[in-house]
Amino acid sequence: MQLYSYFRSSAVYRVRIALNLKDLPCDLVPVHLLKDGGQQLSAEYRKLNPGATVPTLIDGDTVINQSMAIIEYLDETHPRPPLLPADPGGRARVRSIAQSIACDIHPLNNLRVLRYLKRELDVGDEARDAWYRHWVETGLRGVEAMLAASPATGRFCHGDTPTMADLCLVPQMFNARRLGCKLDDMPTVVRVDAACRELPAFERAAPANQPDAE
């Protein structure tokens, strides 16, 4: 398998954790989102990923864009250890936590969005950082409420083994810390994130530990 990756992309970070948890060998192909005007925008890369986003996973003849689609694919084709629980209610809970991050927080703070704010709307650095923190803090407070309210929360977001929800949470928390978001009103989120980062599969997937890290 090959994974088109950028060290700091939190969408790719999710997939790197999945590959590590499942102990799947995979070649990383770096796609630098800032160099050459954005390598993801090249005609060659767009053949693999028409939306010009990372990640892209290649597995034989199968080419997959979108991190959650890739994680579900890896879970279906390499079921051990599972990244989703077995029961439909549990699976729905894990997916809804994952999507609360991957749909409601992350897309608003993508590089291309921050660029649009600056270039097209003339938003200054301070207001742009406030935008970033607003969506992270609002979104993660929702995740905190979901986790704190439920007996299904364990050492990790759902029970005592990592699931797709944790794969989305940890990269989002990495970004939250990087931008100085306020996290002191979300103790469950902070605890689960810390528990995940004790696992080598999460640690090895971190941006600083990638071959293309700067």
> By the criterion CB under 8 A, which residues form the site for a second copy?
46, 50-53, 61-62, 64-66, 68-70, 72-73, 76-77, 88-89, 91-93, 95-96, 98-100, 102-104, 106-108, 113, 116-117, 120-121, 123, 127, 130-131, 134, 139, 141-146, 149
**What's the min distance (Å) between Cβ of 142 and a second copy?**
3
Residue 204 in 3-state DSSP?
A: helix
> Tokens 């980062």, residue?
197
Nearer to a second copy, 116 or 200 (CB): 116
**What's the min distance (Å) between Cβ of 191 and a second copy?**
17
Burial of 166 from C-beta contacts in 10 A (0-12 / 13-18 / 19+) = buried
Nearer to a second copy, 138 or 209 (CB): 138
Nearer to a second copy, 65 or 210 (CB): 65
Q: Which amino acid makes up residue 162? A: P
Nearer to a second copy, 100 or 175 (CB): 100
**What's the min distance (Å) between Cβ of 209 and a second copy?**
25
Q: b/e for 28-55, b at 16 or more Cβ within 10 A?
A: bbebebeeeebbbeeeebeebbeebbbb
**How wide is the angle at C-alpha 59 spanned by C-alphas 56 and 65, nearest 5°?**
25
**What's the min distance (Å) between Cβ of 103 and a second copy?**
5
Query: Rounded CA gap, 64 and 57, in Å?
Result: 5
Question: Roughly what angle, to the nearest 10 degrees, separates helices 164-178 and 88-102?
Answer: 20
Cis peptide before 30 (omega within 30 of 0): no
**What's the min distance (Å) between Cβ of 65 and a second copy?**
5
**What's the min distance (Å) between Cβ of 210 and a second copy?**
22
Nearer to a second copy, 25 or 60 (CB): 60
Ramachandran bin of 31, using left for φ above 0, alpha for ψ from -120 to 50, beta for the remaining angles: beta
Nearer to a second copy, 132 or 156 (CB): 132
